[in-house]
Amino acid sequence: MPSHQEKMIHHFPRRIILVRHGESEVNEDEGVLEHVPNHKIKLIKKGTEQARATGRMIKEIVSEEEAWKVLFYVSPSNRTRETMDEIISRGRTFEKNRIVGVREECRLREQHFGNFQDLEERRKIKRSRVRYGKFFYRVPEGESSADVYDRVSSFLEGLWRDMESNKFSNEMNLIVVSHGLTILLFLMKWFNWTVNQFEELANPANCEYRVLELGPDGEYSLASYHQLDELKKWGLSDEMIEDQIIRARGLQPFLDRKCLVAPTNDSASDDSIGDYFDEK
């Protein structure tokens, strides 16, 4: 008879995939923020192409299970909604019968930098944030990363309640289309990373994605899908990578191998972390 934990895991989504929006008008001309509200910034042609390509890659990931489904959460900004539409490709990549729903989620919006933004002032703010520390620095008339963390935490607490009340199934994949900083803070909250660890993280590139996959012990991990060199490139320390490996494969294989430090040599960097404990 299955245990309570096994029953709970059965109702957890198989994956949570975090996607940053594609390249936008700001990539071509940052000065557009002086006369266009941030949330109305649109994708450019390159961003549209990036989103379509990302949609095809994500479909390859989620379609490993026969009965797979997807549920989208999207920031209310034009560029995130357009990214989601292109990921779906209007039914050509994700068929309508595979999409359980689309939920606009205001708590996943971009960090607020104020209203219309003077270009030189925006550059000055970014320089000050680097000196002060990007987590606690508050943008004048805007938000700090700590503020964004609080609203992302509120979103996740609701998501965890939905998971615990069996509102999902193991064939479900949650796809979150949001912004670079918001994605980093989502990961920080999910994995209980410290402020110092957050400060070392690299921002995702446009339409880059992070796959959190459910492991055998009911823990989500970046290490089931992504490779060691990717995690290092993103700014994860050896300690953080070690934690991802344990989450991906469970603690027991780690203890059986008597290995409590993630591999760091060059030969290991080419291997998938998901294969790290496999017998050769």
Residue 20, annotated ligand binder? yes
CA dihedral (198, 75, 80, 223) positive or negative: positive
For residue 21, indicate whether it is catalytic: yes
Catalytic residue among 21, 143, 213, 226: 21
Structure tokens that stand for 271 in this block: 């291997």
Catalytic annotation on 64?
Answer: no
Q: Report the b/e string of 224-236 with b at 16+ CB within 10 A.
A: bbbbbebbbebeb
158 is in an annotated binding site: no
- For residue 15, list its beta bridge partners: 173, 213
Is 107 labeled as ligand-binding?
no
Residue of 82, 86, 105, 110 marked active site: 110
Please tell me whether 6 is known to bind a ligand: no
Q: How many residues in the chain?
A: 280
Is residue 22 part of an annotated ligand binding site? Answer: yes
14 is in an annotated binding site: no
d(CA 249, CA 196): 26
Confirm or deny that 221 is annotated as ligand binding.
no
In Å, the largest CA–CA distance within the chain is 64
Residue 213: φ, ψ to 5°: -115, 145
d(CA 133, CA 199): 7
* Residues 223 and 273: beta-carbon distance below 8 Å: yes
106 CB-side CA count, 13 A:
0
Q: Is 139 annotated as a binding residue?
A: no
Q: Is 21 annotated as a binding residue?
A: yes
Cα-atom radius of gyration of the chain, to the nearest Å? 19
Binding residues: 20-27, 79
Catalytic positions? 21, 110
Binding residues for substrate: 20-27, 79
